[in-house]
Structure 1
Amino acid sequence: MHDISTEYKENFEGKPPRLSQVEMTELVLPNDTNLLGNLLGGRLMHWIDIAGAMAASRHSNRIVATVALDSLDFRHPARMGELVMLKAKLTWVGRTSMEVKVSAYAENLKTGNVILTNQAYITFVALDSEGKPAPVPPLILETEEEKREFEEAEERRAERLKRRAKG
Protein backbone atom coordinates (compact mmCIF):
# COMPACT_ATOMS: atom_id res chain seq x y z
CA MET A 1 0.00 0.00 0.00
CA HIS A 2 1.04 3.59 -0.59
CA ASP A 3 2.53 5.26 2.47
CA ILE A 4 0.86 8.53 3.38
CA SER A 5 2.37 10.56 6.21
CA THR A 6 0.45 11.04 9.46
CA GLU A 7 0.49 14.81 8.98
CA TYR A 8 -1.12 14.38 5.57
CA LYS A 9 -3.84 12.14 6.99
CA GLU A 10 -4.55 14.56 9.83
CA ASN A 11 -4.83 17.58 7.54
CA PHE A 12 -7.24 16.08 5.03
CA GLU A 13 -10.59 14.41 5.42
CA GLY A 14 -10.75 11.48 3.04
CA LYS A 15 -13.47 10.78 0.52
CA PRO A 16 -14.85 7.49 -0.80
CA PRO A 17 -14.85 6.99 -4.59
CA ARG A 18 -18.67 7.17 -4.78
CA LEU A 19 -18.63 10.85 -3.76
CA SER A 20 -16.54 11.91 -6.73
CA GLN A 21 -17.64 9.53 -9.46
CA VAL A 22 -18.90 11.08 -12.67
CA GLU A 23 -21.28 9.83 -15.33
CA MET A 24 -21.62 11.69 -18.60
CA THR A 25 -23.40 10.85 -21.82
CA GLU A 26 -22.57 11.87 -25.37
CA LEU A 27 -24.44 11.27 -28.62
CA VAL A 28 -22.23 10.03 -31.47
CA LEU A 29 -22.89 12.48 -34.31
CA PRO A 30 -21.63 12.32 -37.93
CA ASN A 31 -18.79 14.75 -37.16
CA ASP A 32 -17.56 12.32 -34.44
CA THR A 33 -17.15 9.35 -36.80
CA ASN A 34 -14.75 7.89 -39.35
CA LEU A 35 -15.67 6.74 -42.86
CA LEU A 36 -17.13 3.50 -41.44
CA GLY A 37 -19.53 5.40 -39.17
CA ASN A 38 -17.59 4.41 -36.03
CA LEU A 39 -16.68 6.85 -33.27
CA LEU A 40 -13.20 8.30 -33.78
CA GLY A 41 -10.69 7.04 -31.20
CA GLY A 42 -9.41 10.56 -30.60
CA ARG A 43 -12.90 11.88 -29.88
CA LEU A 44 -13.47 9.06 -27.38
CA MET A 45 -10.09 9.77 -25.75
CA HIS A 46 -11.13 13.43 -25.41
CA TRP A 47 -14.41 12.45 -23.70
CA ILE A 48 -12.59 9.97 -21.43
CA ASP A 49 -10.08 12.65 -20.39
CA ILE A 50 -12.90 15.09 -19.57
CA ALA A 51 -14.85 12.55 -17.50
CA GLY A 52 -11.70 11.47 -15.65
CA ALA A 53 -10.65 15.07 -14.95
CA MET A 54 -14.10 15.89 -13.56
CA ALA A 55 -13.92 12.95 -11.13
CA ALA A 56 -10.37 13.89 -10.05
CA SER A 57 -11.37 17.56 -9.61
CA ARG A 58 -14.42 16.53 -7.62
CA HIS A 59 -12.24 14.44 -5.28
CA SER A 60 -9.51 17.04 -4.85
CA ASN A 61 -11.61 20.21 -5.14
CA ARG A 62 -8.86 21.50 -7.42
CA ILE A 63 -8.00 21.96 -11.06
CA VAL A 64 -6.19 18.87 -12.32
CA ALA A 65 -3.79 18.06 -15.14
CA THR A 66 -3.51 14.77 -16.98
CA VAL A 67 -0.18 13.09 -16.19
CA ALA A 68 -0.44 9.62 -17.75
CA LEU A 69 -2.75 7.31 -19.60
CA ASP A 70 -1.75 3.80 -18.54
CA SER A 71 -4.08 1.92 -20.81
CA LEU A 72 -6.96 2.40 -23.17
CA ASP A 73 -8.61 -0.73 -24.46
CA PHE A 74 -10.69 -0.56 -27.65
CA ARG A 75 -13.03 -3.55 -27.31
CA HIS A 76 -15.97 -2.63 -29.50
CA PRO A 77 -16.78 0.36 -31.72
CA ALA A 78 -19.47 2.87 -30.85
CA ARG A 79 -21.44 3.81 -33.94
CA MET A 80 -23.07 6.96 -35.25
CA GLY A 81 -26.42 7.54 -33.56
CA GLU A 82 -25.51 5.60 -30.41
CA LEU A 83 -25.14 7.05 -26.94
CA VAL A 84 -21.75 6.78 -25.27
CA MET A 85 -21.99 6.69 -21.49
CA LEU A 86 -18.78 7.35 -19.57
CA LYS A 87 -18.39 6.33 -15.93
CA ALA A 88 -15.35 7.73 -14.11
CA LYS A 89 -14.34 6.59 -10.62
CA LEU A 90 -11.19 7.08 -8.57
CA THR A 91 -9.20 3.91 -7.94
CA TRP A 92 -6.08 5.30 -6.22
CA VAL A 93 -4.85 8.46 -4.53
CA GLY A 94 -1.31 9.47 -3.60
CA ARG A 95 -0.11 12.74 -2.10
CA THR A 96 -0.87 14.94 -5.15
CA SER A 97 -1.90 12.47 -7.83
CA MET A 98 -4.97 10.34 -8.45
CA GLU A 99 -5.79 7.44 -10.76
CA VAL A 100 -9.23 7.36 -12.35
CA LYS A 101 -10.81 4.40 -14.14
CA VAL A 102 -13.10 5.47 -16.98
CA SER A 103 -15.43 2.90 -18.52
CA ALA A 104 -17.25 3.72 -21.76
CA TYR A 105 -20.48 2.01 -22.79
CA ALA A 106 -22.37 2.31 -26.09
CA GLU A 107 -26.16 2.18 -26.11
CA ASN A 108 -28.04 1.40 -29.29
CA LEU A 109 -31.15 3.57 -29.04
CA LYS A 110 -33.15 1.33 -31.39
CA THR A 111 -32.55 -1.93 -29.53
CA GLY A 112 -31.68 -0.68 -26.03
CA ASN A 113 -28.59 -2.92 -26.10
CA VAL A 114 -25.69 -1.60 -23.96
CA ILE A 115 -22.11 -2.86 -24.36
CA LEU A 116 -18.80 -2.00 -22.68
CA THR A 117 -16.73 -0.53 -25.49
CA ASN A 118 -13.67 0.92 -23.79
CA GLN A 119 -11.85 1.23 -20.49
CA ALA A 120 -9.01 3.53 -19.51
CA TYR A 121 -6.83 4.28 -16.49
CA ILE A 122 -5.67 7.90 -16.28
CA THR A 123 -3.47 9.61 -13.71
CA PHE A 124 -4.13 13.24 -12.81
CA VAL A 125 -2.25 15.64 -10.55
CA ALA A 126 -4.03 18.31 -8.49
CA LEU A 127 -2.75 21.86 -8.96
CA ASP A 128 -2.76 24.86 -6.67
CA SER A 129 -3.49 28.43 -7.79
CA GLU A 130 0.09 28.76 -9.09
CA GLY A 131 -0.04 25.55 -11.12
CA LYS A 132 2.11 23.57 -8.68
CA PRO A 133 1.19 20.05 -7.46
CA ALA A 134 -1.09 20.25 -4.41
CA PRO A 135 -1.99 17.63 -1.77
CA VAL A 136 -5.31 15.82 -2.15
CA PRO A 137 -7.58 14.04 0.34
CA PRO A 138 -6.94 10.32 0.83
CA LEU A 139 -9.27 7.77 -0.70
CA ILE A 140 -11.57 5.94 1.72
CA LEU A 141 -12.03 2.42 0.39
CA GLU A 142 -15.45 1.03 1.28
CA THR A 143 -15.76 -2.19 -0.72
CA GLU A 144 -13.62 -5.22 -1.50
CA GLU A 145 -13.69 -4.22 -5.18
CA GLU A 146 -12.33 -0.76 -4.29
CA LYS A 147 -9.54 -2.35 -2.23
CA ARG A 148 -8.67 -4.67 -5.14
CA GLU A 149 -8.69 -1.76 -7.62
CA PHE A 150 -6.46 0.28 -5.28
CA GLU A 151 -3.89 -2.56 -5.13
CA GLU A 152 -4.00 -2.98 -8.92
CA ALA A 153 -3.50 0.78 -9.29
CA GLU A 154 -0.44 0.54 -7.03
CA GLU A 155 1.00 -2.07 -9.40
CA ARG A 156 0.31 0.12 -12.46
CA ARG A 157 1.97 3.06 -10.70
CA ALA A 158 5.05 0.99 -9.85
CA GLU A 159 5.35 -0.13 -13.50
CA ARG A 160 4.89 3.46 -14.73
CA LEU A 161 7.61 4.72 -12.36
CA LYS A 162 9.91 1.89 -13.46
CA ARG A 163 9.42 2.82 -17.13
CA ARG A 164 10.03 6.49 -16.34
CA ALA A 165 13.29 5.65 -14.52
CA LYS A 166 14.55 3.71 -17.57
CA GLY A 167 13.57 6.43 -19.95
Structure 2
Amino acid sequence: MANRKQKSVKESFTTMTELVLPNDTNTMNNLMGGRLMHWLDIVSAISAQKHSNRIVVTASVDNISFKQSIKLGNVITMEAQVTRSFNTSMEVHVNVWAEDIPSGTKTKSNEAFLTFVALDQTGSPIDVPEALPETDKEISLYEGALRRRQLRLVLAGRMKPHEAKELKSIFNLDEKVPE
Protein backbone atom coordinates (compact mmCIF):
# COMPACT_ATOMS: atom_id res chain seq x y z
CA MET A 1 0.00 0.00 0.00
CA ALA A 2 2.97 2.29 0.35
CA ASN A 3 2.86 3.35 -3.31
CA ARG A 4 -0.92 3.86 -3.40
CA LYS A 5 -2.12 7.44 -3.35
CA GLN A 6 -3.77 8.42 -0.07
CA LYS A 7 -6.97 10.41 0.34
CA SER A 8 -8.85 11.60 3.41
CA VAL A 9 -12.24 9.91 3.80
CA LYS A 10 -13.86 13.31 4.47
CA GLU A 11 -13.22 14.19 0.82
CA SER A 12 -15.80 11.56 -0.15
CA PHE A 13 -18.57 12.99 2.07
CA THR A 14 -21.77 13.34 0.03
CA THR A 15 -25.22 14.57 1.01
CA MET A 16 -28.35 13.94 -1.02
CA THR A 17 -31.84 15.18 -0.20
CA GLU A 18 -35.14 13.90 -1.58
CA LEU A 19 -38.78 14.78 -0.96
CA VAL A 20 -41.04 11.72 -0.60
CA LEU A 21 -43.77 12.19 -3.21
CA PRO A 22 -46.89 10.07 -3.86
CA ASN A 23 -45.15 8.09 -6.63
CA ASP A 24 -42.46 7.05 -4.09
CA THR A 25 -44.89 5.48 -1.63
CA ASN A 26 -46.85 2.28 -1.11
CA THR A 27 -50.58 2.05 -0.30
CA MET A 28 -49.83 2.89 3.35
CA ASN A 29 -48.23 6.21 2.27
CA ASN A 30 -44.81 4.96 3.39
CA LEU A 31 -41.69 5.25 1.27
CA MET A 32 -41.18 2.07 -0.76
CA GLY A 33 -38.02 0.19 0.25
CA GLY A 34 -36.91 -0.17 -3.35
CA ARG A 35 -37.03 3.60 -3.86
CA LEU A 36 -34.84 4.12 -0.78
CA MET A 37 -32.40 1.46 -2.02
CA HIS A 38 -32.22 3.28 -5.36
CA TRP A 39 -31.37 6.56 -3.61
CA LEU A 40 -28.84 4.81 -1.33
CA ASP A 41 -27.09 3.36 -4.39
CA ILE A 42 -26.87 6.80 -6.03
CA VAL A 43 -25.53 8.73 -3.01
CA SER A 44 -23.04 5.94 -2.21
CA ALA A 45 -21.82 5.73 -5.80
CA ILE A 46 -21.19 9.48 -5.84
CA SER A 47 -19.19 9.17 -2.62
CA ALA A 48 -17.12 6.30 -4.06
CA GLN A 49 -16.54 8.28 -7.26
CA LYS A 50 -15.30 11.26 -5.23
CA HIS A 51 -12.81 9.00 -3.46
CA SER A 52 -11.57 7.15 -6.54
CA ASN A 53 -12.06 9.77 -9.27
CA ARG A 54 -13.37 6.88 -11.36
CA ILE A 55 -16.59 5.37 -12.59
CA VAL A 56 -17.77 2.82 -10.03
CA VAL A 57 -20.12 -0.14 -9.98
CA THR A 58 -22.00 -1.59 -7.03
CA ALA A 59 -20.37 -4.80 -5.78
CA SER A 60 -22.55 -5.46 -2.73
CA VAL A 61 -25.16 -4.02 -0.43
CA ASP A 62 -25.15 -5.09 3.20
CA ASN A 63 -28.28 -5.49 5.26
CA ILE A 64 -30.66 -2.53 5.12
CA SER A 65 -32.95 -2.38 8.13
CA PHE A 66 -35.89 -0.05 8.36
CA LYS A 67 -35.85 1.33 11.90
CA GLN A 68 -38.59 3.85 11.27
CA SER A 69 -41.11 4.18 8.45
CA ILE A 70 -40.67 7.16 6.17
CA LYS A 71 -43.91 8.95 5.35
CA LEU A 72 -45.30 10.77 2.35
CA GLY A 73 -44.10 14.38 2.52
CA ASN A 74 -41.00 13.62 4.60
CA VAL A 75 -37.70 15.09 3.49
CA ILE A 76 -34.99 12.43 3.31
CA THR A 77 -31.35 13.35 3.87
CA MET A 78 -28.73 10.74 3.07
CA GLU A 79 -25.12 11.20 4.17
CA ALA A 80 -22.53 8.91 2.59
CA GLN A 81 -18.79 8.58 3.11
CA VAL A 82 -16.13 6.05 2.19
CA THR A 83 -15.04 4.16 5.31
CA ARG A 84 -12.13 2.19 3.86
CA SER A 85 -10.65 1.22 0.53
CA PHE A 86 -9.00 -2.01 -0.43
CA ASN A 87 -7.24 -2.61 -3.76
CA THR A 88 -10.00 -1.76 -6.23
CA SER A 89 -13.00 -1.63 -3.89
CA MET A 90 -14.37 0.87 -1.40
CA GLU A 91 -16.85 0.45 1.42
CA VAL A 92 -19.31 3.34 1.82
CA HIS A 93 -21.38 4.02 4.95
CA VAL A 94 -24.73 5.81 4.62
CA ASN A 95 -26.99 7.32 7.26
CA VAL A 96 -30.59 8.17 6.35
CA TRP A 97 -32.58 10.85 8.16
CA ALA A 98 -36.32 11.43 7.71
CA GLU A 99 -37.61 14.88 8.54
CA ASP A 100 -41.20 15.98 8.98
CA ILE A 101 -40.69 19.69 8.45
CA PRO A 102 -44.18 20.88 9.59
CA SER A 103 -43.83 19.08 12.94
CA GLY A 104 -40.12 19.87 13.29
CA THR A 105 -39.12 16.23 13.88
CA LYS A 106 -36.08 14.52 12.41
CA THR A 107 -35.43 10.79 12.87
CA LYS A 108 -32.62 8.47 11.84
CA SER A 109 -34.45 5.85 9.83
CA ASN A 110 -31.73 3.76 8.19
CA GLU A 111 -28.06 2.94 8.05
CA ALA A 112 -26.30 0.82 5.44
CA PHE A 113 -22.93 -0.22 4.03
CA LEU A 114 -22.40 -0.60 0.28
CA THR A 115 -19.29 -1.70 -1.60
CA PHE A 116 -18.17 -0.33 -4.95
CA VAL A 117 -15.43 -1.27 -7.40
CA ALA A 118 -13.64 1.41 -9.45
CA LEU A 119 -13.27 0.82 -13.18
CA ASP A 120 -10.87 2.10 -15.83
CA GLN A 121 -11.88 3.19 -19.35
CA THR A 122 -12.09 -0.42 -20.54
CA GLY A 123 -14.35 -1.51 -17.67
CA SER A 124 -11.61 -3.36 -15.76
CA PRO A 125 -11.10 -2.89 -12.01
CA ILE A 126 -8.44 -0.31 -11.15
CA ASP A 127 -6.62 0.56 -7.92
CA VAL A 128 -8.13 3.24 -5.71
CA PRO A 129 -6.47 5.61 -3.22
CA GLU A 130 -5.94 4.41 0.33
CA ALA A 131 -8.61 5.84 2.65
CA LEU A 132 -7.28 7.88 5.57
CA PRO A 133 -9.65 8.27 8.54
CA GLU A 134 -9.10 11.23 10.89
CA THR A 135 -11.92 11.50 13.44
CA ASP A 136 -12.77 8.92 16.11
CA LYS A 137 -15.95 7.97 14.20
CA GLU A 138 -14.02 7.60 10.92
CA ILE A 139 -11.37 5.46 12.64
CA SER A 140 -14.04 3.24 14.21
CA LEU A 141 -15.76 2.68 10.83
CA TYR A 142 -12.37 2.10 9.18
CA GLU A 143 -11.38 -0.53 11.75
CA GLY A 144 -14.70 -2.39 11.40
CA ALA A 145 -14.53 -2.38 7.59
CA LEU A 146 -12.15 -5.33 7.35
CA ARG A 147 -14.50 -7.51 9.45
CA ARG A 148 -17.49 -6.46 7.34
CA ARG A 149 -15.53 -7.16 4.14
CA GLN A 150 -14.47 -10.60 5.30
CA LEU A 151 -18.04 -11.42 6.32
CA ARG A 152 -19.30 -10.34 2.88
CA LEU A 153 -16.67 -12.54 1.20
CA VAL A 154 -17.49 -15.56 3.40
CA LEU A 155 -21.23 -15.15 2.76
CA ALA A 156 -20.59 -14.87 -0.98
CA GLY A 157 -18.49 -18.05 -0.93
CA ARG A 158 -15.39 -16.16 -2.04
CA MET A 159 -13.53 -16.78 1.24
CA LYS A 160 -13.45 -19.77 3.59
CA PRO A 161 -14.41 -19.01 7.21
CA HIS A 162 -10.99 -20.18 8.45
CA GLU A 163 -9.34 -17.60 6.15
CA ALA A 164 -11.32 -14.75 7.71
CA LYS A 165 -8.85 -13.88 10.46
CA GLU A 166 -10.88 -10.89 11.64
CA LEU A 167 -13.96 -13.07 12.23
CA LYS A 168 -12.52 -15.72 14.57
CA SER A 169 -14.94 -14.90 17.39
CA ILE A 170 -17.99 -15.13 15.12
CA PHE A 171 -17.07 -18.51 13.67
CA ASN A 172 -15.43 -19.95 16.83
CA LEU A 173 -12.34 -20.78 14.80
CA ASP A 174 -10.21 -21.31 17.91
CA GLU A 175 -12.36 -24.22 19.07
CA LYS A 176 -12.07 -27.74 17.74
CA VAL A 177 -15.24 -28.76 15.95
CA PRO A 178 -16.25 -32.38 16.67
CA GLU A 179 -16.33 -34.50 13.54
TM-score by length of 1: 0.91
What is the CA–CA distance in structure 2 between the aligned matches of 1:164 and 1:47, rounded to whole Å?
24
Instruction: Name the aligned partner's letter for residue 122 of structure 1.
Output: L
Deviation at 1:166, TM superposition (A): 6.6
Q: Identity rate of aligned residues, in percent?
A: 43
Whether 2:10 is the aligned partner of 1:18: answer: yes
Aligned to 2:55: 63
Structure-1 separation of matches of 2:158 and 2:91: 22
| Residues in 1 aligned to 2:103 and 2:42: alpha-carbon distance in whole angstroms | 28
What is the aligned counterpart of 1:138 among 130, 136, 140? 130
Alignment of 1:54-93 (within 5 A): 54-93=46-85
1:144 Cα shift? 2.0
Amino acid at match of 2:21: L
Q: Unaligned regions of 5+ residues in structure 1, if any?
A: none
TM-score (structure 2 length as normaliser): 0.85
Alpha-carbon distance in 2 for matches of 1:64, 1:26: 22
Corresponding residue of 1:28: 20
CA–CA distance in structure 2, aligned partners of residues 82 and 107 of structure 1: 5
Q: Deviations over 1:80-118 (max 9, x none)?
A: 011000000111100110000111110001112110011
Unaligned 5+ segments in structure 2 are: 160-179
Larger Rg: 2
* CA distance in 1: counterparts of 2:154 and 2:20, whole angstroms: 38
Residue aligning to 1:49: 41
Moved over 4 A (4+): none
RMSD: 1.3
How many residues are aligned here? 159
Determine which structure has greater relative contact order: mean sequence separation of CA pairs < 8 Å that are 6+ residues apart, divided by chain length: 1
